[in-house]
Every structure is written in C-alpha cells, then in structure tokens.
Amino acid sequence: MKLLVVESPAKAKTINKYLGSDYEVIASFGHIRDLPAKDGSVDPEADFKMLWEIEGRGAKQVAEIVKAVKGAEKLILATDPDREGEAISWHVLEALNEKRALKGIPVERVTFNAVTKDAVQKALANPRQIDQALVDAYLARRALDYLVGFTLSPVLWRKLPGARSAGRVQSVALRLVCDREREIEAFRAREYWSLVATLATKTGATFDARLVGADGKKITRLDIGTGAEAEAFKAALETALFNVAEVEAKPVKRHPYPPFQTSTLQQEASRKLGMAPARTMQVAQRLYEGVDIGGETVGLITYMRTDGVDMDGSAITAARSVIGKEFGNQYVPSAPRKYTVKAKNAQEAHEAIRPTDLARLPAMVARQLEPEQAKLYELIWIRTIASQMESASLERTTVDIAAKVGARLLDLRATGQVVLFDGFLKLYQEGRDDEEDEDSKKLPPMAAGDPLEKRNIAADQHFTEPPPRFSEASLVKRMEELGIGRPSTYAATLGTLRDREYVRIDKKRLVPEDKGMLVTAFLESFFKRYVEFDFTASLEEKLDRVSNAEIDWKALLREFWEEFTKAIAGTKELRVTEVLEALNGVLGEHIFPAKGDGSDPRTCPTCGTGQLSLKLGKFGAFVGCSNYPECRFTRPLSVPANDGEATAEGGQGTPGVRILGKDPVTQQDVTLRDGRFGPYVQLGEGEKPKRQSLPKGMSAAAVDLDKALALLALPKEVAKHPESGEPILVGIGRYGPYVQHGKTYANIDKDDDVLQLGGNRAIDLIVAKESGAGGGRFGRGAAVPGRDLGEHPGGGKLVVRAGKYGPYVNWGKVNATLPKTMTQESLTLEQAVELVNAKAEASGVKGGGTKAKAAKAPAKKPAAKAATAKAATGKAAAKPKAAAKPKTAAKG
C-alpha cells in the first residue's frame, strides 16, 4: 500500500476515486506546523533558528499520518505545486522524521496542475524529491514576516495607541490606499468647457464633432477655462460654415487577452461578478479540488495560484476544436496563440488558469454547481476560449472638419469605429474600472470637401475630478505592477487590512479609516524605507532568487535584520511630541482641511486663541486644543473642523463626538460618541438625552444618520402576539438585543439583526421562550433548521425556515418574511435572493457578509477594555501574555 498526502479532504476525496486499492489518500488539512505567536519563534541571535509548533488539528493530522504510514511501502507527498505546497510537504516530512515514523520508507514528491485522473497518474509516474530552494524561499518569507510583525507592531502600540499591527506587505498595500486618499483630499477641481457641434451630412445623417483648434492653435481638454471663453466660441460656431477637410480610415486589429493568471482572475471576478479576491480564491479552490458532476467528482479547473499565462499544447488543441464547433472555422486563427510573461520566478510559474476539459461547456455543468461556482467557471471558460480565437478587425475613422467664420478658421474633429469582424469580441470583452476612452460610435459616409449642415452647438461646463479610490481589483493590479506581494498573498493582504479595520469598503471602493491613515503616516515618518514601493519590490525579487537557488536565504535575512534593527533602535528615545509633530505634518490636509473662508483651519473654534493639534489618548487619536485644560474642545479625526457645528466639548483624552445630522422630527443633533462601554448614538443634549448603544458587530464607521435614527427608535413594535394580541417589541438591553412580550424576554440570536428583525421571527422567539423551549435544542434565540437553498451571490448561505407563524428566508443577519403567494417548499434560490436583497436594501443592513465579523467581535467588559488600553500604551509589554497578542501581525 502506498500512502499519498494532500492538503485538503476535498482533494483527497477526488484523488481517492482516481486511484486503486493500492493507495490510501489522506489530508494534512493545510499546514500542520506554525511559528508560535510569541517572542523567540525566530531567533536572529541563533542564525535565525525557527521554532515550529504542532497544535490542535495539526497534532491530530500528524497522528493520523503516522498511523497510516506504518506498513506503507512508500510515502508520496502530493501537495499543491507552488511554494506553499512545497512547504506543507516539507513540514509533513520533518514532523514524521522527528517522530521517527518513516523507518526507511522511501519518500517521493509529486505535483500536478489539475486534479484529473490523467494528470494525477502522469505525476505519479514522474516523482521527484522536495525542492529545498522553494522551501528556503518559504522559510525566508515566514521569518521576514514574523520579524517585521513582532518587532514593529509593539513599537506602534507604544508610540501610536489604537494601532494594531504592521506587516511587510500589508503596510505597503495600506500606503497605496492612504496615498490615494491624500491625493483626493489635496485635489482642487478645475473648471473647463467643451464645445460640441451636431452636424448633418448631405444625406441627413447626423454626428457630433468636438472643437480641437482655433486660428492655427490646438485646443486641448482644459484650454477653455471660463464660461465667457466658451460663449465666444459658441457664438462663432453658430455663424460658421462647415465642410469636411479630411477623412482618414485606418484598419485596426484587436488581439485577445491571455488566459487568466491569479491576479487577472481576481480583478475580472471583482469587476464582472462582484466577488472579493478572497471569495474568488475560495470558489476557485473548490473548482480545482473537485466538484460532484453527475455522480463523479471532477476537478474542473487547473491550479489557481499562478503567474503563468501559457497553456498546455493539448488544451490549446482542444480550445481550437471547441471554437470551430461552437463559433465556426472563421473564428479559429491560422496558428495557435502562444502567450508568455516574464516570470518573476521560473520555479513558481505554472500553467494559466483554465478548465481541465474545454469541451465541458458552462451550460453542461451550471445546474450541478453552486451559483458562484457556475459563474466563475463560465468566466474562466470564456476567457480561455477567447484567448485562442481570431483577432477582431476594426476600422477607426477620423474626420477633420473646417469651420469658417469670416477670416477665422476653427477646427473640429469626429472619431468613430466600425467592427468589420468581431473575432474574440463575439465572446469576451475585459471589464474596466473606468469607462473606455475610445469613441466607438459609427460615423456616416463622408468625403473631403463635403459640406455639412449645423444642427446644434453645445457649450458644456465640466470640472476635473480627483483620482478614484482603489477598488479591490484595481489595488491588486497596482500591487502587481509595483511587484508588491505575490499571487497567493493578494487576497490575504486585503483581508488583513479589513480585519485590522485599517480600511473599509464603501460602494466597492477601499476607503482608509483614520487609524489606517495614522499608521501609514507614522511608518512613513519613522520607518520610511520599509513602506517604500521600490524597497518592497526589491525584497520580493531577492526572495524569488532564493527559490531559484541563486542566493542564500539566511544571508538575505542577515542583511535585512542588520538595517531593520537600527531603524527600530532609532525610535526608542522617540517622544510623543515628536510623533505628533510628524503626524500633523503628513496628515495636515486630512486632519485640518482648508476652510471656505480662508481662515486658519487649526484655530480652535471654541476659544479662538488655541491651536488645534493631533492628540493621543488611551482610546486612540483625536484632535484637541492647545489651551487645555482651560479649553476642553475635542473632536475625532474624521470630522472636518470647518466650524463649531461639527465639534463638541469633552474631556481631553476622549475621541469626541461625530455629528451625523438632524432628527427630522425634533431638529436636534444626532451624534455618534465613544463611551466607557463602547460607541453609542445620542439625540440632542441635556441631563438625560436619549441614547442607544451600538449592537455587537456594528462598526462605528458604518453608522450614518438613518442607522442612528433606527437605533434611537428602539424599542419598537415589530409584531402582535398571536394569542394575546399584545405588541412584541425589539430592543437592545444590558445583555444585548432582545424581543419582549409583556414580562417575557428572549435573546436575539447573533445571526439576527436587531434593526430589521421580521415579525414572524420575533413571534417564534417569544413563543419558544413562553413554551419553555428556551433551554432546549432551538431555545435561547437559536435559529430553527430549514431548507438550504444555496449560496447568495454576495456570499453566505440562504436558508428558508418554517416559523410557527409563517415561513421566512434567512441570510446571515437578514430575515425576510415570505409573502402569502410563496410557499416554503416552492421557494427558489432566485426568489430568496430577491427577498433578502429587498429587505437588506430597505434596512441598509448587509446580510451574509456581516455574519463572521459579528461573531468575532464580543463585547468587552470595562475591566477588559482598560486592560487592552494598558497593553496598547506598552505598559504591559513585558508580561508573558502580551507576547501572544500580535499573532496575526507576523503574516504581513
């Protein structure tokens, strides 16, 4: 019997069906060992010795592998064909050697780019040994990420309260987002005007032409800067005589895009399917490892972590065959297309991401896949087929037009494009984050000398716009262009920035939080080299050279560590005043935006004599007056200090108040505040204003006026009791959200959202509590079981449940009551998606995407919060427990 080890149980299940009884396939469940989250796991003084630890599931899996390897004639390590996969195999082998479990059993390493029977059998026929150069590259990356995270993060805690961590790659990615935000804040709009003439040919066909020159001089987009100039040109064009000066028709070829690599797949899935990079990789992993198709487990795509863009020769042949059959021979180019890319690392470059069987059309498997799987498979299939199709043939036409106004000559230009043969465009066009600049309108037939008739002259005002914030797709593209990170790290890096609450996603764009801006400004001021793009890219290239066995990994670490420790040592004597002065300088436009009246934005609006400055308190950073304690003005960073309306008085050392707007009924201010027990919203001022704490899992940054008013409206009636007819209320109490009927209270489950709890759900909770089911299987607000409908396109399960007083569909925190025209049995996935989307949109609350976050954010007791604040100031850094705090900080 031969023992074959892979990473995941899904992959093990698929491969087990391909091999006979001579093989046993077992999963390691990813890495079985990791660096302990404590000081000393990487020891620079002992030549960077790394202390690995087996814990939890890893220990269980090692025991399973040790048990299985006894009596085996051979151990085959078949983990993924990249650096991380090589490291997993190395860890398994090291763990078995430590336990003396092999006892002379031969060990082989095999890799395959697709989980198919042919690919697996071919790999087994061509075994090799573990590639130590790839392992060394893994060790170097892990050591660097650990050393940066565990050395730099404590500096942040001591010098910048509220900051959570820094990382080798995450901090540079965060800088990209923050730099873009500062560009936007520094941007000043510029006025410009465009002149467009609607003209008609002698046949009556109309088209638009733009003013591009006057009196022998070119006019560019921004040259007409005032309305007066625009009106002067318009008046001239109104009386002009128009004729065609020149027509130029130029043939153009557009060639197809190469097949997907990791970064381009993440970008296109984000643009076209709205899938976050992390979700894209999760779904792609399932397609790669194997999906049940007609009772057979099949790997549908090749390995999805790759820099490569070329395809196997047999796949190219198959693609050409599918193109001829599905679209016609005219769409098959005369010669197969070959794509190449300058691989950053030859040993880590694999084949492009493609379907394992191109004859397996998306329509053939759509019904047997989950919705997201079907959409992603179709996107990969289309891109792969399009990459081997014939080029598109177009004709781009430029028409120059002369407008004579007396002795003056004005120049206009019209552009258009005609598709002569669509080629690959018949199947696929790549998505864009911005609109296409190219004018694709078709122009009517014209010839030089033809007269043109004026139909209309339009003078339109425009203003230049700031650069757009990054989307997840465009940030991945920018990181790839700069050489920051690698395909397998993009999704994890973006996830870390969100988890640390350094950025948030608003309208599919990445917006830096204040703490993210502060961390970036701090690092740029005192660790500039380590957030420079060139330095990070250069380090990535050196790591690639390690995996090519060109340089020694420990020599790389020694070189890095020598300079890094000097930079750390330089901050030991750093005073808070120096930190604040540096941050005030870097973040000036962000913290103190210019006032409309031109006055000093740093003048205190309360006392009029003090200077506003960044302050650091135990709960984080805020803006305060230099005349403290005589003047107690404070405000958070994110509130512009244009006037006193956006400020509030408070004690120095508290973040202050954010005004959200006016209550439409009372016209009182609705504010968001930080209190001893966490953030809360408040209506008005006075001795006993109405207040409401934010429920667990709701981010303060996500609270707007509508959400605040909804919270302040609690408790509110959501249903009538079916027997008593008395109201059932929903509210937030000392122990969290609840529903109430008379003197009966029932806790709301963590997956329910207090702001949009449905009537049927509320009745179920109360009746369950009143019937004594509170401690039973479905008591204490637990959701009753139901029928699983599948995945929501935005992530998260959709389940329809039979409530005692009516069925409802659940999606994370959203519960939507079924209308009387629908039944629980007949409800389809599409109908469920429409119901929960409508409910989520009406309430302004997200569904499945908030579930995990809410579960990770337990409320802290006052004592625990104080302890956290103490640790953040560095006072408890020497205690053993504090060492475990930056566990994820080391993951860069």
Q: Which residues are catalytic?
A: 303
| Contact criterion met (CB below 8 Å) for 766 and 746 | yes
Question: Do 343 and 306 touch, CB atoms closer than 8 A?
Answer: no
Residue 701 identity (one-letter amino acid)? A
d(CA 798, CA 789): 5
Taking alpha carbons only, the member of 199, 193, 194, 195 closest to residue 456 is: 199
Handedness of CA 819, 825, 831, 833 (dihedral sign): positive
C-alpha span between 63 and 99 (Å, rounded): 10
Q: 20, 78, 13, 55: which is closest to 884 by C-alpha?
A: 55
How many Cβ atoms are within 10 Å of 694's Cβ, its own excluded?
20
C-alpha to C-alpha distance for 302 and 112, rounded to whole angstroms:
9
Q: Are the C-beta atoms of 254 and 394 separated by less than 8 Å?
A: yes
User: Per DSSP, what are the bridge partners of residue 490?
Assistant: none
Instruction: State the amino acid at position 666 in one-letter form.
Output: T
The angle, 0 to 180 degrees and rounded to 10, between the axes of the packed helices 117-124 and 9-18 is 80
Q: In degrees to the nearest 10, what's the CA dihedral of 840, 844, 848, 853?
A: -160
Distance CA 718, CA 748 (A): 13
Nearest Cα residue to 200 out of 235, 243, 239, 233: 243
State the Cα–Cα distance between residues 201 and 211, nearest whole angstrom: 18
| Helix (H), strand (E), coil (C) string for 149-176 | HHHHHHHHHHHCCCCCCCCCCHHHHHHH
> What angle separates helix 262-273 from helix 371-387, to the nearest 10 degrees?
120
Helical residues (DSSP H) of 170-226, grouped into ranges: 170-186
Contact call for residues 456 and 240 (beta carbons, < 8 A): no
| 574 in Cβ contact with 159 (< 8 Å) | yes
Q: Which residues, listed in sequence order, are joined to residue 683 by a DSSP beta bridge?
A: 670, 690
